[in-house]
Amino acid sequence: MLTPTQLDDALLTVADLPSGWELHDSTTDTTELTFGMGQDNSSSWCPAGTAALRTETHGVAEVIFTQSDSNSGLTQALGSAPDAGVHFADIEKAFSSCVGQTWNTDAGGASLTWTMAEASGPIIADESASYRVTLTVTNANRKVSGSVKATLVRRSSVVELYSYSPNPMVTMGELSSEDFTAIVTTGDRKVADELDKIGSTGPGGGSNTTSAAAAPMTKAAFVAEANRICKATKDTVGELFKADPMGQSEDLRVYLTRIGPRATPLLRSMLADLRQLTPPASDDAAIERGWNEMRALINRLEVDPTWMFNQMFPKDIELHDYGLTECFVDHVDVL
C-alpha cells in the first residue's frame, strides 16, 4: 500500500494539466479515515454512489483545480487500502445502480436536474469505469446544461477518482474528452510510479495483475481455457434455472428477480477466473476491455436481474471473432 505521503507525491500538479488551470486546494490525511473523495453523503446526485465512496482506507490524498476562465472544477482523489478491489467493486456497483436515474433540486432560485449515465472513458490499470452526470440549470431567464465527467480507477492497492465539473453557465474553454482522458492517464501513471518504488505496480496500460507476473499464454491455449471457463459457468447457471423452474402462473420478471441474485455471483466468480489467465501480450488491451465490458454487464444484472432474459454475456464482435465464442456474443436480441 502507499502511505499518505506517497499518495501526496502521486497527485497531479498544474504542470500535468492543459493551460488555464490553477490549484484550488490540496489535502492529505495521515491517519486511517473516511474515503470521502471530496464528496458529501448528502450529494444532490447518486447518494448511493457518493455514500459508497466513504469507506475506511489507509490514507487519502486529494487535489482540486479550478479553471480561471470558466470556474470549472477538476478533482483527483486517491485512497490506498489492502482490499482496494473490494472497495472498487462496491463503489462501482453503487454508481451503476444510479445509471438512468434523475434527481431534482433547487439552489439560489434555480431548478437543478441531474441525470446519470455510463460513459466511454480510458480503460487502464486493473479496473476502470466512467460515468457522465448531466446537470440542467433552469431559472427565470435561461436554461443551460453541462456534463460532469467521472472516471474511477483501481491500480493494485490504490483507488483513484477523477472528476471534471464544468460551469454550465460558461461554455468557453470546456475540457474535451480527449484532454480528460489524458489527465486520467497521467494521474494513473504517477500512481504507478509510486507503486513501482515499493514493488507493487500492478498492470501497465490495459494489462491485468496476473499478466505482469506470469508468462503470456498462446492464443490457442488462452481461447480454449477462457471458453472452458465461460461454458462451465453457462452450464452451472443453466442447472440453477432447471432446478428452480418458473411457475406456470409466475411472471417472468418476478421469476428473474427471484433467481437472478443466485446467478450473478457465479458470473462474478467466472470473471475472477478469467482475469487469472494471461493472454498474448499483443492482445492484452483488447482482452482487458472485454473483461471490463463483462464486469459492467454483471453490475447491470445485479441492479436489474430481469435483463438476464436478454443478455447474460456481453456483446463484442471483435472478441467473438477472436475466438471467445463462449464468453462474448456477436448480437443481442432485446425482447
Same domain, 74 and 137: yes
Judgement on whether residues 270 and 179 belong to the same structural domain of the protein: no
116 and 180 inside one domain: yes
Residues 26 and 171 in one domain: yes
pLDDT at 35 exceeding the cut of 50? no
What's residue 40's pLDDT? Answer: 42
DSSP structure class, residue 314: -
pLDDT band (50, 70, 90) for residue 239: very high
Q: Are residues 153 and 231 in the same domain?
A: no
Domain boundary among 138, 173, 197: 197
- Quickly state the pLDDT bin for 272 (edges 50, 70, 90): confident
Query: Does residue 170 register a pLDDT over 70?
Result: no
Check residue 317 and give its pLDDT.
Answer: 93
DSSP state of 315: B
Tens digits of per-residue pLDDT, 101-155? 898 888 778 888 889 988 888 888 888 889 988 888 888 788 888 888 999 999 8
User: Could you tell me if residue 53 is inside a domain?
Assistant: yes
Report pLDDT for 195: 87
Let me know whether 63 and 167 are in one domain.
yes
- pLDDT for 305: 85
Domain total in the chain: 2
Q: Which of 3-12, 83-92, 117-126, 201-210 has the lowest mean pLDDT?
A: 201-210
* Structural domain containing residue 16: 4-197
Residue by residue, DSSP assigns 254-279 as HHHHHHHHHHHHHHHHHHHHHHTS--
Q: pTM to 2 decimals?
A: 0.63
Asked, for residue 142, whether it belongs to a domain, the answer is yes
Q: Are residues 29 and 170 in the same domain?
A: yes
Residue 29 has pLDDT above 70, yes or no: no
> What is the pLDDT averaged over residues 178-194?
90
CB 59 within 8 A of CB 27: no
Q: What is the CA radius of gyration of the chain?
A: 21
| 303-331 pLDDT, tens digit each | 788 888 778 899 999 999 999 999 999 98
Q: 67 pairs with which residues across the strands? A: 21
Please report which residue ranges of the chain form alpha helices under DSSP H: 4-9, 47-52, 84-96, 177-197, 209-213, 219-243, 252-275, 284-303, 317-322
